Amino acid sequence: MSLAPPAKSTILVVDDIPDNLHLLTRELTDHGYETRAVLTGEMALTVAQSAAIDLILLDIMLPDMDGYAVCQALKENSATQDIPVIFVSALDDPFDKVKAFDVGGVDYLSKPVKMVEVIARINTQLSLRHAQQKLQLFNQNLEALVQQRTQELAQTNQALQAEIQVRQRAEQDLRLSEARYRLIANHMGDLVCLHNQDGDFLYISPSVQSLLGYRPDELQGKRLQDFCHPDDLPCLQLHFQESFQRAESITSAYRLRNQAGGYVWIETLAKAIMDEGEPITGIVTSSRDVTRRVNVERKLRYEALHDALTHLPNRDWLAKRLEMEILQCRRQLGRQFGLLMLDLDRFKAVNDSLGHLIGDKLLIAVAERLRATVRKVDMLSRWGGDEFIIFVEQVNHIDELVQVAEAINQALESPMEVDGKIIFTTASIGVLLGGANYGTSNEIFRDVDIALYRAKEQGRNRYEIFGLEMYQEALSLLTLENELREAIKNEAFVVYYQPIIDIKTRTLIGFEALTRWQHPLRGLIMPGGFIDLAEDSGLIKPIGKQILYQVCHTIAEWERLGYLEAWLQISINVSGQQFRDHNFIETLDHILIETGVKGTRLKLEITERILLEQSDSIARTLDAIHQRGITLSIDDFGTGYSSLRYLSQFSVETLKIDRSFVMQLQPGKSGIVQAIIDLAHNLEMDCIAEGVETEDQLHQLQRLGCEAAQGYLFAKPMPPDQAVQYLQSAPPTLETLLSQLS
């Protein structure tokens, strides 16, 4: 730091003598100073305040005030107090040095002044002042720095204090939460453990005692694997491995051996212990006893996939297996599989006659037999009711399936003994060879069902192999079924009437009502084209009801117009399903009341099979029918399972001899027709021969004592308006003549 004064300092010279002033200022200017010169004390004070003055040379003796007063005034003003003042006194002036220093002067000079001295004194004072100023500045800076540092230190200190507080609080929290966790772990029902990578127990919560019976210290140093059920070991190991590789928790279930030596199903949630960026150091597991739940689940799963009666796989399981097989077939070129769907023939009869209990036992026995004929790799399942399905894996040729079908038929050949009863069963089987051509299990079931249906239709106790043409037939049958539903809605059925003739008198005794379907596109469809379908689909009931209503309505109309003699009877065909319907009698009554037709006007044609069922409800229906004066015929007699016993049991008025027997009649060869007529007469029934086409047949029937006949020989079935004409043109009967006479 240089103490030399700045080059251009400004000196204020105060002197009341202008010559002095002039001399001094010139000298000073020559020495490089700026100067200001004033004559009075007042002016000196004014200039010192307003201009930047570095030093004042002050005369003691001034006109307005003395130099002491001026100096004192300068020192009292903060703007001027730092300006060094050098007093200048004449030798003869009374100069008080002490006073000069007291009022703030820094030096003094005596007149006449030596310029060298003046300059030296001025320089000294200026340097001093300059040094003072610098020191002051330095001090100021230092103070500012110290203040700043002190402030910074205080801030740092404050931050540190805050951090310490946070840490202390965190530490406290940590201690608290650890204590809480320990409390939870110690009192939790779940078992909480800590394991290292090898499965060693590092920590075991006390709940292990209630869960597995061990004390925690007994497990120290052991591994989880040591307690796992051998079957579940792979699952456990996988679980551990995965837990070490993933951040999420993973659940799994396995069995652990308890202290008693039994096994407990445990569900465990495992989570790897991971500190950010650190490698996984261990696994925390939380486990609970889920034995009950697992058992329930297993039971449910078993029930979901098994048939409760036979314990065979059920249709859901089979469907799943088939879906898998479909995928296999798509992957493996040429791969084929087989399906055999079998249905016990006449199982319903067993159920109806021997009861459901025996029926169930029979199903179990059949399942056993089937199981013995099926390979281990194949799957025997129960489809429901009396239907079973066998899935055959990897089939090369249809012959292999035929062999299975034949083996099944053979296996069922010998009778079953159920509860001491001997039961013969046979089965109809649908066979299907499938492959990549199938997309869903439902398609497979649909097709094998078509084949089964065909087997049943073809006469049971046989198998049929599914072919594409069957599918197409089934498809068109389906269309027909839908059209049939439409037909019911639109009441598109018409009834034709075929005369029935008394053979002896050759007069009309009644009509048989025969239904036709007025199809919008295909015209009139004969019963052969839709009755079977109507029966299979259950649509025969609404159709039968419509027909019954229509026929009664026609009868009422004919009666009202006087066309119908009192003894004429109208025969109506009633299907088994209709007859078995619990509402049948109710429907019948309703129609009779609404149309006003008397029961005696009607004759119902039923098949033998209905009577064979021998159920109480059938007996009740038969009773109810007789109570209403309605008579019964047995249609197509001799074509079914004729049994003499049922014929004598129920009161049936008429047997209808099927056309197939009438056709067999030859001169001199009456065959079965004779037997039927004799049987009917023995049971006090009369006979109507169907399908009489020739005079020869008629003669022979007359000779055999047959009472009545219908057939093309007399008339074909005809629509109602023609039947009316027929009624009107028919020759009067004996009864008519007699009634006209009386």
The beta-strand segments (E) located in 404-547 are 416-418, 421-423, 427-434, 463-465, 493-502, 507-519, 523-525
Nearer to Ca ion, 426 or 546 (CB): 546
Q: Is 636 in the site for Ca ion (CB under 5 A)?
A: yes
Q: Is 467 in the site for ligand C2E (CB under 6 A)?
A: no
Of 640-679, binders to ligand C2E (CB under 6 A) are: 659
Q: Candidates 213, 216, 435, 527: give the one binding ligand C2E (CB under 6 A).
A: 527
Q: Going by C-beta distance under 8 Å and a sequence separation of 6 or more, which residues neighbour residue 430?
A: 340, 341, 342, 448, 449, 450, 451, 452, 453, 454, 455, 463, 464, 466
Q: Going by C-beta distance under 8 Å and a sequence separation of 6 or more, which residues neighbour residue 488?
A: 539, 542, 543, 546
Pair of tokens at residue 216: 């925690």
Q: Is 585 left (phi over 0), alpha (psi -120 to 50) or beta?
A: alpha
Minimum distance from CB of 532 to ligand C2E (Å)?
A: 9
State how far the Cα of 664 lies from the Cα of 657, in Å rounded to an integer: 12
Identify the bridge partners of residue 380 per DSSP, sorted by sequence position.
390
498 contact choice in ligand C2E, Ca ion, none (CB below 5 to 8 Å, kind-dependent): ligand C2E
Query: In the 8-state DSSP scheme, what is residue 231?
Result: G
653 contact choice in Ca ion, ligand C2E, none (CB below 5 to 8 Å, kind-dependent): none
Q: Is 575 in the site for Ca ion (CB under 5 A)?
A: no
712 contact choice in Ca ion, ligand C2E, none (CB below 5 to 8 Å, kind-dependent): ligand C2E
Q: Is 573 in the site for ligand C2E (CB under 6 A)?
A: yes
Exposure string (b/e) for 350-372, b if CB count within 10 Å is 16 or more? bbeebeeebbebbbebbbeebee
Under DSSP, is residue 58 helix (H, G, I), strand (E, B) or coil? strand
Q: Is 712 in the site for ligand C2E (CB under 6 A)?
A: yes
Nearer to Ca ion, 456 or 603 (CB): 603
Q: Candidates 690, 697, 698, 704: give the one binding ligand C2E (CB under 6 A).
A: 690
Of the candidates 385, 377, 544, 373, which has an alpha carbon nearest to the alpha carbon of residue 452? 385
Q: Is 608 in the site for Ca ion (CB under 5 A)?
A: no
Q: Residues touching ligand C2E: how many (CB under 6 A)?
A: 23
Q: Candidates 35, 125, 314, 573: give the one binding Ca ion (CB under 5 A).
A: 573
State how far the Cα of 105 lies from the Cα of 342, in Å rounded to an integer: 139
Pair of tokens at residue 454: 């065909």
Whether residue 5 contacts residue 131, with contact meaning beta carbons closer than 8 Å, is answered with no
Pair of tokens at residue 415: 């009778």
The sign one gets for the Cα dihedral 456, 459, 464, 467 is: negative
Minimum distance from CB of 397 to Ca ion (Å)?
A: 44
Which range in 78-86, 126-134, 355-363, 526-534 contacts ligand C2E by CB under 6 A?
A: 526-534
Q: Is 464 in the site for ligand C2E (CB under 6 A)?
A: no
Q: Candidates 242, 352, 443, 693: give the one binding ligand C2E (CB under 6 A).
A: 693
Of 477-516, binders to ligand C2E (CB under 6 A) are: 498, 514-515
Of 531-550, binders to ligand C2E (CB under 6 A) are: 531, 544, 547
Q: Is 605 in the site for Ca ion (CB under 5 A)?
A: yes
71 contact choice in Ca ion, ligand C2E, none (CB below 5 to 8 Å, kind-dependent): none
Minimum distance from CB of 525 to Ca ion (Å)?
A: 18
Which range in 60-68, 328-336, 441-449, 522-530 contacts ligand C2E by CB under 6 A?
A: 522-530
Q: Candidates 59, 559, 635, 707: give the one binding Ca ion (CB under 5 A).
A: 635
**The residue count for the chain:** 742
Nearer to ligand C2E, 208 or 604 (CB): 604
State how far the Cα of 315 lies from the Cα of 307, in Å rounded to an integer: 8
Of 613-642, binders to ligand C2E (CB under 6 A) are: 635-636
711 contact choice in Ca ion, ligand C2E, none (CB below 5 to 8 Å, kind-dependent): ligand C2E
Q: Candidates 717, 723, 724, 733: give the one binding ligand C2E (CB under 6 A).
A: 717
Task: Catalogue the long-range contacts made by 674-677 (C-beta closer than 8 Å, 24 or more residues apart).
Answer: 674/704, 676/637, 676/638, 677/704, 677/705, 677/706
Minimum distance from CB of 344 to Ca ion (Å)?
A: 29
Residue 633 burial by Cβ neighbours in a 10 Å radius (0-12, 13-18, 19+): buried
Helices within 506-631 (DSSP H only): 531-536, 540-560, 576-580, 584-595, 608-612, 616-627
Give the binding site for Ca ion (CB under 5 A): 573, 605, 635-636, 690
Give the binding site for ligand C2E (CB under 6 A): 498, 514-515, 526-528, 531, 544, 547, 573, 575, 605, 635-636, 659, 690-693, 710-712, 717
